[in-house]
Amino acid sequence: MTLALGAAAAYGGALADALVRAPSPAAAFLPGAVLGAVLLVAVLVFGRRGLGAALFLAGGTYVAAVVSAGSTVDASAPLVAVLLLLSGELSAWSVDERLDIRSEPRLLWRRGAALTALGLAGLAAAVLVAALSAVPSSHGLVWAVLGAAAALGAAGTGIWVARR
Amino acid sequence: MTGYTSPRLPAYATIAAAGLVAGLALGRVEPIALAAPFLLALVAAAAERAPQVSVDASLDRERAIEGDEVTATIELSSADTVGRFELVPLLPPELSVDGATARAVHLPAGEKQTIELKLRCERWGVFTVGQVLFRARDILGFRSWEGGTGEPRPLRVFPAEETLRSLVAPLETQVFAGNQVSRARGEGIEFADLREWRSGDRLRRVNWRATALRGSLWVNEQNPERNTDVVLFLDTFAEVRAEGRSTNDRAVRAAATLAHLYLQRKDRVGLVGFGGFLSWLVPASGMRQLYAIIEALLTSQVVHSFALRGVDVLPPRTLPPKALVLAITPLLDSRTAAALLDLRARGYDLIVVEVSPLEMVAPRPGSSLDLAYRLWGLSREALRWQYEQVGVPVVTWREDVPLAVPLEEVNAFRHLARPA
């Protein structure tokens, strides 16, 4: 129940961010958001498939809202990205926990730690992407190398987390 | 092992690809930032490799009695770290585990993990335990590898025995020494009668008190202790099964109890499994025979058959003369009913213990099935009357009463009625 609520909260946060940034009328973005929310509820309540579609709709709504709002870069994009990833992971975890399996308590902590690490690494990667886009391309090779190294570092962190 | 990927990975890949394409098409960074964590998750999933796991299951013993607990030990080890290792031992429904059967553990590389399962033997039978289905997953569940392993190990669960204080004594005994006081006169301990001395009588048999009273030599007569032949006739043509209970289960428990107790009395005990699958054991005595009977009972099951079958298909040695035939039957199949009447006609000392199925299928009061149920009860009553007419005691063993009750009824019947 806690995991499902967490997944719904993360999804709701991402949708709220999208709708807040949407230009008026914001209602034009509502159908996608509502459909995505319904799909997520179906996943969480009935364990049905459709998680990917729900995440896709939320992401699409956000991108549409940001693009329609104007040309300035939205600083909250990394947060929305991580919220969507967390929503997906928490939904999958919630469905997994419904299976009648007696598991060690430390497995919960390990998965929680791995998910936190994945979320932080994802946030770092998204922030890097957003930050690098703000750097003018005329700043030269050093920045490009730094960006590539950061991306590799983020990917390495993800691999390390997943292998633990 | 078969590898699987989580259904969310293709979704993540689609979101990441769509984000990158949208970023390029729109010339915006937000879709790419949105795709970045999903790409990271994909990279993490791609880095996973199939682990080399070893699973070994064993039982603390191979024989148990109904109601016992057997400990199954499953030893796990892996060459690589497995974030979450799930396993389900394949257990027959007759063996139960408290709580969930499936277990999940973290399996570090090179370390041995031991899982103990307490298996409760709910029903008798021969089972195979030891095979395990497993799934090795990374901790976030992106990828998994499934397989089955384990060497099948046999577990024999013997039927629980009923408590009996006395058994039904056969009308006639055999020629070997045993614990049953024979009706015949001969060398023994139990006093039978007095008679006048005859040439050849031993001096120690002279009853001096009677001799002094009557003025001539009188001797004591005794009943010798002899063994008996008992044939357990198990009806496996049909059974009634409801909510995990069945008439055949109870019949097997009764047969095991009776075999054990008669063999303890040095009697010879045989077994006839009369049903779709015919089986028999020639009467014999001793511990070996007890195990043979129990093994035969463990594999006895109700096999539906339409073959017309009578007692003439049984080998003659299976039913020795003067044997007590104890039929344990739910009286559901007319072929058994006819075979038992045939046995009686051949002069066997027959007792029918009816394992009552009535309580197991009793309809709710006021149900439309009530009439059919009553008619069925009446037809069973008529069948019992048929047996009683030929001098066969038929006792009903209800589910909630011990086996001793119907056997005492047989003894009471035998005191009151003379065999035909």
Query: How far apart are alpha carbons B31 and B27 in whole angstroms?
Result: 9
**Confidence tier at B417 by pLDDT (50, 70, 90):** low
Query: How far apart are alpha carbons B56 and B77 in whole angstroms?
Result: 9
The distance of A75 to chain B (nearest Cα, Å) reads 9
- Subunit contact B40:A155, Cβ cutoff 8 A: yes
| pLDDT value of position A160 | 66
For an interface test with B, give the residue of A71, A72, A86, A89 to mutate (most B CBs within 10 A). Answer: A89
Look at the alpha carbons of A56, A62, A68, A71 in this order and tell me if their dihedral is positive or negative. Answer: negative
The distance of B43 to chain A (nearest Cα, Å) reads 7
Please identify among residues 11-30 of chain A the ones whose CB lies closer than 8 Å to any CB of chain B. Answer: none
Global confidence as pTM:
0.71
Is B269's pLDDT higher than 90?
A: yes
Please indicate if any CB of chain B lies within 8 Å of the CB of A121.
yes
- Write down the H helix ranges in B163-299: 208-214, 247-264, 287-298
Average pLDDT over residues B168-185: 81
Digit-coded pLDDT (tens) for B308-354: 777 788 888 888 888 899 999 999 988 888 899 999 999 888 999 99
Q: Which residues of A touch B136 (CB under 8 A)?
A: none
Digit-coded pLDDT (tens) for A85-141: 999 999 888 888 888 888 888 888 999 999 999 999 999 988 888 887 776 655 665
Instruction: Judge contact between B246 and B240, C-beta under 8 A.
Output: yes
Alpha-carbon Rg for chain B in angstroms? 34
Query: How far apart are alpha carbons A79 and A120 in whole angstroms?
Result: 10
**Confidence tier at B125 by pLDDT (50, 70, 90):** confident
Please indicate if any CB of chain B lies within 8 Å of the CB of A83.
no
* Exposed e or buried b per residue across B312-340, where buried means at least 16 C-beta atoms within 10 angstroms of its C-beta: eebeeebbeeebbbbbbbbbbbebbbebb
The distance of A147 to chain B (nearest Cα, Å) reads 13
DSSP symbols for B19-58: HHHHHHHHT-SHHHHHHHHHHHHHHHHHT-----EEEEEE
Run of H or E residues at B179: strand B177-181
Report the residue from B14, B28, B100 with minimal CB separation from A56.
B14
Digit-coded pLDDT (tens) for B221-239: 988 888 889 999 999 888 8
Predicted complex: ipTM over 0.95: no
Digit-coded pLDDT (tens) for A6-44: 888 888 888 888 787 777 666 667 777 777 788 777 777
**Paired strand residues for B54:** B77
Phi and psi of B182, rounded to 5°? Answer: -80, 155
Please indicate if any CB of chain A lies within 8 Å of the CB of B233.
no
Q: Which residues of B touch A7 (CB under 8 A)?
A: none
Please indicate if any CB of chain A lies within 8 Å of the CB of B391.
no
Is A77's pLDDT higher than 80?
A: yes
Please indicate if any CB of chain A lies within 8 Å of the CB of B140.
yes
Question: Of the ranges B285-294, B298-307, B344-353, which one carries the lowest mean pLDDT score?
Answer: B298-307
The distance of A120 to chain B (nearest Cα, Å) reads 9
Query: First CA to last CA across chain A, in angstroms?
Result: 26
Please indicate if any CB of chain A lies within 8 Å of the CB of B188.
no
Please identify among residues 13-42 of chain B the ones whose CB lies closer than 8 Å to any CB of chain A. Answer: 14-15, 18-19, 22, 26, 28-41
Q: Which residues of B touch A60 (CB under 8 A)?
A: 18
- Subunit contact A52:B10, Cβ cutoff 8 A: yes
